[in-house]
């Protein structure tokens, strides 16, 4: 009994230390992400764009506007993910107890799809994960910001990769430490920017693809593993398990990005154009969901 208690206390201490480390590193990851993104934008806007022609030309104007558009959207959604409360239940708030669980840490009944974050030390509505890169939990209220942040990082870095290819080749073929028409940007910066852009395109692109798969199947990262376990248990007993919140790709997309109720189809792409439906405490389910769960 003593050994078991010592083991439990030790594991609690380790988990709390790890959570504190993740929490303290959040601002550092946040600043690093902003610096890397701003660096790519700076090199793209002040080197890659004028490489193909003057700013006042049609191509220069369009490319400058595109660069600023995806940069503004990256910043908006990045800060939106960081600053927006993901949604947390109030202590001792009572909802429909039939579909709730009790959180011993928060000492409150938590709504369905709510999970406790050991880094933030609070329950989060429809929690997906705690992301150190944004210094916040990703939950019901800011998950859309997170998805759009990933999307514009991928689009922006892909754009910077394409635009920066010829400048990258030129920088690799010259021994001059500065590019001849822009002495403020060294050839090393051009080379590093292109390598960083293509690396982020693939790395963040994989994460974006994973997150969009979850959106279109109406799951979170936590629920994906729960559903996989329940599906395995159902197969062992000769039954078929189905995610009760999966209403179909179209409806899942509309519910997450809030594009129903007569809104323009592209409104989800604009800064603060739409919000996810619901308040994070209840969700529509498929028919006979009680028999499937």
Instruction: Show which residues are catalytic.
Output: 131
pLDDT higher than 80, residue 79: yes
Q: Count other C-beta atoms under 10 Å from residue 292's C-beta.
A: 16
- Residue 81 three-state SS: helix
250 is written with which tokens?
Answer: 């179209």
Average of pLDDT values for 274-282?
A: 82
pLDDT for position 293: 38
For the chain, give the percent of residues with pLDDT over 70.
79
203 is written with which tokens?
Answer: 């790395």
| Claim: this prediction has a pTM higher than 0.75 | yes
pLDDT for position 21: 57
The secondary element (H helix, E strand) that includes residue 103 is strand 101-103
What is the distance between the alpha carbons of residues 283 and 252, in angstroms, rounded to a whole number?
11
pLDDT for position 195: 94
Average of pLDDT values for 52-63?
A: 88
């Amino acid at each position: 009994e003593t050994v078991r208690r010592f083991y439990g206390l030790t594991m609690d201490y380790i988990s709390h230390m790890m959570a504190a480390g993740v929490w303290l590193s959040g601002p550092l990851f946040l600043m690093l992400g902003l610096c890397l993104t701003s660096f790519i934008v700076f090199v793209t806007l002040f080197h890659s764009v004028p490489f193909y022609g003057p700013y006042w030309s049609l191509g220069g104007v369009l490319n400058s506007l595109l660069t600023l558009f995806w940069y503004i959207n990256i910043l908006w959604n990045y800060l939106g993910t960081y600053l927006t409360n993901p949604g947390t239940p109030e202590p001792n708030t009572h909802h429909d107890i039939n579909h709730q669980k009790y959180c011993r840490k928060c000492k409150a009944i938590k709504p369905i799809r709510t999970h406790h974050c050991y880094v933030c030390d609070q329950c989060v509505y429809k929690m997906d994960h705690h992301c150190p890169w944004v210094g916040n939990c990703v939950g019901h209220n800011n998950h859309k910001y997170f998805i759009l942040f990933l999307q514009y990082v991928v689009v922006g870095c892909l754009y910077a990769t394409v635009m920066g290819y010829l400048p990258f080749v030129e920088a690799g073929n010259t021994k001059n430490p500065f590019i001849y028409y822009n002495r403020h940007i060294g050839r090393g910066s051009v080379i590093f920017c292109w390598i960083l852009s293509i690396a982020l395109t693939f790395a963040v692109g994989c994460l974006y693809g994973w997150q969009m798969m979850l959106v279109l199947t109406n799951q979170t990262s936590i629920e994906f593993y729960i559903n996989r376990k329940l599906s395995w248990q159902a197969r062992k007993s000769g039954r078929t398990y189905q995610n009760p919140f999966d209403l179909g790709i179209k409806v899942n997309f509309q519910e997450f990005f809030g594009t129903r109720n007569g809104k323009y189809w592209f409104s989800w792409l604009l800064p603060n154009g739409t919000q996810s439906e619901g308040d994070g405490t209840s969700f529509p389910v498929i028919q006979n969901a009680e028999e499937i769960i």
